[in-house]
A and B are shown apart, each in its own frame.
Chain A
């Protein structure tokens, strides 16, 4: 029996965005779950809170995403038992990369964006491809609406090139409210033009005082 690649996966659509600030991090994702031209549910969270300073947003195949989140949550629990502390964002970033590469020859169909605060309390965003290649950046978008959103973020947040020396900070100087406003506007725009993005937007803000969740209604068509 021939193993057809496309039969093993399904794309459930959706878009994820994360923006790193000086002392906060914003992670947002829409809540629409779709298959083909149909909507399966309007109220499905793509965001997983892994540690008290780490949040993961993933779009792609929800079967693989559920398994991936479960895997990471279990690994985090083990870490807590062994080290008597929570995992930091850079540590979780490395763990996620290794987990994804472990399945290099039968990948998780998951497009991830990891957000949180690093050990110094600064905003931290890591962006991944499906097999674990990752990079720390100031902002990122993944999923079906990513090609609509990234150019706008590039224009508004203008991250300095990582090749410049001396190494410049990639985090945006925008305030938390300004960053959340940008995320809302950018998702409203992506919803207009991408059929897989819409219904509701879930926004998670991580800062020194903890994790805060907010919702915004999006177009339902």
Chain B
């Protein structure tokens, strides 16, 4: 009879460890916290293309892990993707699909299409049943026109004229719902996106720091990193801090030998016949 372990893996998510994880959680073992991006990410379609926006704060629970991270990821020269959720997941999934798109461009000899990126993302996320916690706003302009889509961690997608994701999505969506209209100009689009991200930055604790904007039009993409910096440090002590030697008192000093420089003084003879053999064949042992 064939054992389960003998069968080749068919790919996709392996649920083997799920019962064990659940048992640990029931016993009260705490999972280590993921670095999540907290986040406010938005996208909107304007008359010439799409504008994407994102804040720049990455959190680990209540602590800010990165004050100025990049949440707008490159997918193709004409396609960019904002990512919310677990930072490792958004990074990995966008890098993976970006590579796949490049290979596809080489194979087809054509510019990448947003629907291609969309299909690759949604099928990957669906096969992981939501365990890859990446919520994305995908935007780009290709031969078929401008596209804006949202992708949820379980693999569903929506095609929208304006979209927001992340913990600050409600704050940002309130701005969009009030002020969005069709046929915005480039300046109006950028201003509206910046306003929506600022709403997330100031009203959501999971989002903060700066505003990143990316404008994609037919034939041209502009990545405006740190488009707005509305949160400068409010106070810096003019006195400064000095850390002189000897400030930290130590009780014990342990010197460890890491490497040793050895100087060979003499070569010892093992046995006369072996010695003769080794000289004949040029193999001289080095002992000290």
Contact = CB atoms under 8 A, between A and B. Distances in A.
B67 interface: yes
B64 A220 contact: no
Contact of A219 (B167, B204, B234, B236): B234
Nearest to A42: B202
A37 interface: yes
Closest 6 pairs (CB-CB, A-B): A221-B208, A185-B237, A188-B235, A195-B205, A37-B205, A221-B201
Measured as residues with beta carbon below 8 angstroms from the partner, the interface class of chain A is 20 to 34
Contacts of A64: none
B19 to A, nearest CB: 26
Main secondary structure of the interface of B (DSSP, over half): loop
A36 B167 CA distance: 11
Contacts of B3: none
A144 B205 CA distance: 13
A216 B63 CA distance: 22
Contacts of B205: 34, 36-39, 195-196
Nearest to B230: A221
Contacts of B235: 184-185, 187-188, 216
22 contacts: A36-B205, A37-B38, A37-B167, A37-B204, A38-B204, A181-B238, A184-B235, A185-B235, A188-B235, A188-B236, A191-B234, A192-B67, A195-B59, A195-B62, A195-B205, A216-B234, A219-B208, A219-B231, A220-B202, A220-B231, A221-B201, A221-B231
A217 interface: yes
A182 B38 CA distance: 30
B63 to A, nearest CB: 6
Interface in B153-206: 167, 201-206
Contact of A217 (B57, B67, B234): B234
Given A184-B235, A221-B209, 12 more contacts: A36-B205, A37-B206, A38-B203, A38-B204, A155-B243, A188-B233, A188-B234, A194-B63, A195-B205, A217-B234, A219-B231, A219-B234
A184 B247 CA distance: 23
Interface string A32-48: 00101111000000000
A70 B202 CA distance: 32
Contacts of A191: 234
B204 to A, nearest CB: 6
Q: With a 10 A CB-CB cut-off, give which of B59, B64, B234 has the most chain A CB atoms.
A: B234
B62 A192 contact: no
A153 interface: no
A181 B204 CA distance: 29
B133 interface: no
B27 interface: no
A188 B235 CA distance: 6
A144 B64 CA distance: 13
A66 interface: no
B207 interface: yes
A36 B204 CA distance: 9
Interface string B237-255: 1110101000100000000
B18 to A, nearest CB: 26
Interface in A192-221: 192-196, 216-221
A178 B230 CA distance: 29
A194 B206 CA distance: 10
A219 B241 CA distance: 22
B17 to A, nearest CB: 28
